[in-house]
């Protein structure tokens, strides 16, 4: 009997063709919203393998819905939305995909910098509503991006370096902070200057966040940190929402401690603070970091590689709980 695989949203056709060659595949065809929890549980009951995306919460209720669930093969880079302990205890392999989203995420990061500094979102809404103040009106006059200073928090990794390359194209000065400093020769080749976090916040016109979400980085940007930033500066987050204390961000924006924010991620996503949505100086996106067709196709095919390895009794390339295979 062919294995039954459930895919929580539409994926690349080339990946689907490979899956259909070896399994019975059912897809939730609605790509506009995250699958309802009860529908996810119902699907788990009827399928052998789950193919979820980043925001699908694979918790204990999902994992225990089917005693014969064979695997959870996620398209996320980290298993943050999966109850890994329960999966491992039940002998369910969990796989992810490698970190291949740096360039796509850097595009979104830089796009948000420009959008929030130059009031592009407001301009778009204004024109759609029939407004047009005139090409030399100060109505939507914004801030330079070219020639400014960008501070990359946790910025020595792949995404931070990709943002730095784009920043140099805008003649920007690039600072970075993090728990470990790069060798001086590497700093010079990348055109990046190291600063302790507090100094980076004080000097930067744009603060861009790139650390992983861990207990020590949760709410690492809060009231104190916003108080160190320039009132003319902007914060951009394309990493994980909870790195910012969102209540503190709302307060900082209302008090004009900072000039604006560009956000692709949120502390409680998919929920977004209503206060942020009301602010004209906040550009918001629905976690579009890796939303490039070619990249998503590649990511989906990596998930298929993991599934095919499991079905062939081999070690999946990107398994995160290897110990279950020994059983």
Q: Which residues are catalytic?
A: 240, 269, 287
Residue 24, strand partner residues: 4
Helices (H), 120-205: 120-128, 158-169, 184-190, 197-203
> Exposed e or buried b for every residue in 70-79, given b needs 16+ CB within 10 A?
bbbbbbbbeb
Within 10 Å of residue 125's Cβ, how many Cβ atoms?
A: 12
Quote the CA–CA distance of 207 and 233 in Å, as a whole number: 8
Q: What are phi and psi of 263, to 5 degrees?
A: -130, 125
Quote the CA–CA distance of 51 and 307 in Å, as a whole number: 9
Quote the CA–CA distance of 142 and 284 in Å, as a whole number: 17
CB distance 39 to 62 below 8 Å: no
Q: What is the DSSP letter of 319?
A: B
Beta-strand (E) ranges in the chain? 4-7, 24-27, 49-51, 71-73, 94-95, 149-153, 173-177, 192-194, 206-209, 234-237, 260-263, 282-284
CB distance 138 to 161 below 8 Å: no
């Amino acid at each position: 009997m062919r294995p039954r695989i459930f895919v929580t949203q539409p994926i690349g056709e080339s990946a689907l063709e490979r899956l259909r060659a070896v399994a019975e595949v059912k897809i939730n065809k609605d790509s506009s919203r995250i699958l309802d929890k009860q529908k996810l549980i119902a699907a788990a009951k009827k399928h052998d393998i789950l193919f979820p995306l980043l925001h699908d919460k694979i918790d204990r209720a999902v994992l225990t819905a089917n005693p014969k669930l064979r695997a959870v093969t996620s398209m996320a880079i980290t298993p943050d939305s999966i109850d890994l302990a329960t999966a491992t205890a039940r002998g369910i392999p969990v796989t992810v995909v490698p970190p291949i989203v740096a360039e796509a995420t850097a595009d979104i990061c830089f796009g948000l910098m420009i959008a929030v500094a130059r009031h592009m979102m407001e301009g778009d809404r204004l024109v759609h509503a029939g407004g047009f103040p005139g090409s030399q009106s100060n109505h939507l006059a914004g801030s330079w991006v070219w020639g400014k200073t960008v501070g990359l928090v946790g910025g020595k990794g792949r995404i931070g370096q990709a943002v730095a390359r784009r920043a140099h194209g805008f003649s920007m000065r690039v600072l970075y902070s993090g728990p470990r400093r790069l060798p001086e020769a590497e700093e010079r080749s990348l055109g990046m200057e190291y600063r302790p976090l507090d100094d980076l916040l004080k000097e930067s016109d744009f603060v861009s966040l790139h650390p992983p979400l861990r207990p020590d980085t949760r709410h690492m940007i809060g009231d104190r940190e916003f108080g160190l930033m320039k009132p003319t500066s902007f914060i951009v987050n394309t990493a994980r929402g909870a790195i910012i204390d969102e209540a503190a961000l709302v307060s900082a924006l209302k008090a004009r401690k900072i000039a604006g924010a560009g956000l692709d991620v949120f502390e409680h996503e998919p929920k977004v603070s209503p206060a942020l949505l009301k602010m004209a100086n906040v550009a918001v996106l629905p976690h579009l970091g890796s939303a490039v067709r070619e990249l998503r196709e590649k990511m989906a095919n990596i998930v298929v590689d993991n599934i095919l390895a499991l079905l062939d009794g081999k070690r999946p390339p990107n398994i995160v709980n290897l110990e279950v295979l020994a059983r």
